[in-house]
Amino acid sequence: MTMNITEILKILPHRFPFVLVDRVEECVPNSHIRAYKNVTINEPFFQGHFPGAPIMPGVLILEALAQAGGLLAASGLEGSLEGKLFLFTGLNNVKFRKRVIPGDKLELFCDNMRMKLNLCKMDAVAKVDGKVAAQAEITAALGDAPRN
């Protein structure tokens, strides 16, 4: 299945300026996802990271991967996610290999998903022009969202 931004926003709890997935090109529930983020100079973090040499912060690349992973995990769940959130519980084997700059298409890949009870673990890779920008093993837990 594919997802446009309207469909993504129905699943992800994030909103501007923290939505870091623009489109899902392929999602096979309980298997893998292929999505992307178009990185533009209009991103608010480029004002300070770094003036005159804009580079997407590594932690935001990992967040983009986690959001793609959340979409993958949600696609395989039965029932509503209302009142629930996926929260990071771990990042292992994190590596940053290439700078991500304005104009890049950040390709997001998550696969090898394992789900046990409320824990989800998967392998994640972000690429630009086919070259690895970052990679990690992501672990998240599905829990109750805080009540206002």
pLDDT, residue 45, reads 96
Helices vs strands, H then E, count in the chain:
2, 6
> CA-to-CA distance for 68 and 19, rounded, in angstroms?
10
Q: Are 135 and 126 in contact (CB under 8 A)?
A: yes
- Tokens describing residue 135: 């990679």
The catalytic residue among 32, 49, 84, 98 is 49
pLDDT digits (tens, 9 = 90+) for 47-102: 999 999 999 999 999 999 999 999 999 998 877 778 888 899 999 999 999 999 99
Mean model confidence pLDDT for the chain = 94
The verdict on whether 32 is a catalytic residue reads no
Rounded average pLDDT over 16-39: 97
Domains of the chain with bracketed CATH? 5-144 (3.10.129.10)
Taking Cα atoms as reference points, which of 107, 97, 95 lies closest to residue 39? 107
pLDDT, residue 114, reads 92
